[in-house]
């Protein structure tokens, strides 16, 4: 309940990186380059998976879904971040801030689900090769992908509702470069304990459960691969999992650091460190993922090489 001398906040000010005020223009150009590279990288993956017949498999279907998610995930954050760097408009409406936060946690959740499905797909392909075409047919793949999207939107409704019920009456400055839950909860006029708990439970449940599924899948894969008599066969089996393992390690490492812990009062140094970690998983990692898949995956490299040579010949 707001008292008579309190006014409900209608907009927030995103501070970005005030300690790097003299480097704002450099940060803008670096962010712009990274954003363009991110979009191009993921669009290339989506395109070659669509046009190359050798990549019309469940593994690459889920990879293209992951790339599509990454495009929206980074596009939800970076354009406003670049605007803040230019110091033109650090303001964001209450509705805009809540919307950005909801899409951030929803798309992040969907990525967790897709990465878990990709690990499960590799488990079926390596441990059940004879039944794999039946277990992972086109209809099943589509249902799994759609379920990831729908499930991500539904599971994040409780923390969103809990946050929307909080009153915000000032200050309205978010010490971050986007609307994330922890810095936003600090601005509530009342105790945000219920919203913090809801956010913590959902984030921990999603991240830990999907990570456990990935971990179990790869333990079973490792056991199956070690039983393969030839070193060539073992190397081929591991090569289909290498890129995914690298992406999972980077993605879950940063997510667990940020969200699988209760919210507490951080020092200025901790807040700045959290911004750096957030920059890594919202901006840098989406740019690195296409590079990881292209450099470590022979089939993707071959498809990309054929697509480029085909254009050159035409």
What tens digit of pLDDT does each residue of 279-291 get?
888 898 899 888 8
**For 167-202, how does the pLDDT look when each residue is reduced to its tens digit (9 = 90+)?**
988 788 898 899 988 889 889 988 889 999 998 899
- Please determine, for residue 256, whether its predicted confidence score (pLDDT) is greater than 60: yes
- Please determine, for residue 267, whether its predicted confidence score (pLDDT) is greater than 50: no
Asked whether residue 219 is domain-assigned, the answer is yes
Asked whether residue 7 is domain-assigned, the answer is no
Asked whether residue 13 is domain-assigned, the answer is no
Q: Which residues of 8-31 are buried (b: 16+ CB within 10 A; e: fewer)?
A: ebeebebbbbeeeeeeeeebbeeb
Q: How many domains does the chain have?
A: 1
Q: What is the CATH number of the domain that holds 59?
A: 1.20.1070.10
Asked whether residue 220 is domain-assigned, the answer is yes
Asked whether residue 45 is domain-assigned, the answer is yes
Domain that holds residue 257: 22-313
Asked whether residue 231 is domain-assigned, the answer is yes
Asked whether residue 2 is domain-assigned, the answer is no
Asked whether residue 102 is domain-assigned, the answer is yes
């Amino acid at each position: 309940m707001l008292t008579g001398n309190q006014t409900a906040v209608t907009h927030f000010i995103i501070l970005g990186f005030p300690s790097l005020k003299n480097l704002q223009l450099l940060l803008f150009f670096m962010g712009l380059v990274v954003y363009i590279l991110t979009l191009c990288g993921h669009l290339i993956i989506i395109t070659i998976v669509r046009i190359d017949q050798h990549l019309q498999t469940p593994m690459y279907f889920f990879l293209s879904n992951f790339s599509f998610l990454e495009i929206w995930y980074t596009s939800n954050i970076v354009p406003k971040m670049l605007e803040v760097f230019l110091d033109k408009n650090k303001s964001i409406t209450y509705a805009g801030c809540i919307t950005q936060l909801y899409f951030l946690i929803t798309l992040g959740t969907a990525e967790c689900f897709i990465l878990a499905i990709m690990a499960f797909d590799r488990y079926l392909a390596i441990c059940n090769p004879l039944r794999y075409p039946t277990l992972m047919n086109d209809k099943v793949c589509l249902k799994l992908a759609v379920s990831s999207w729908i499930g991500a939107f539904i599971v994040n409704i409780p923390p969103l509702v809990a946050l929307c019920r909080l009153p915000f009456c000032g200050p309205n400055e978010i010490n971050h470069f986007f609307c994330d839950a922890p810095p936003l909860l600090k601005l509530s006029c009342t105790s945000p304990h219920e919203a913090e708990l809801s956010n913590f439970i959902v984030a921990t449940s999603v991240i830990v459960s999907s990570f456990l599924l990935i971990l179990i899948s790869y333990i079973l894969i490792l056991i199956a691969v070690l039983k393969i008599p030839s070193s060539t066969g073992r190397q081929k089996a591991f090569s289909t999992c290498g890129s995914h393992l690298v992406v999972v390690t980077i993605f879950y490492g940063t997510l667990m650091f940020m969200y699988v812990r209760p919210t507490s009062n951080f020092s200025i140094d901790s807040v700045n460190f959290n911004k750096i970690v957030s920059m890594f998983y919202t901006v840098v990692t989406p740019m690195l993922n296409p590079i990881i898949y292209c450099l470590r995956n022979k089939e993707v490299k071959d498809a990309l090489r054929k697509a480029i040579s085909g254009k050159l010949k035409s």
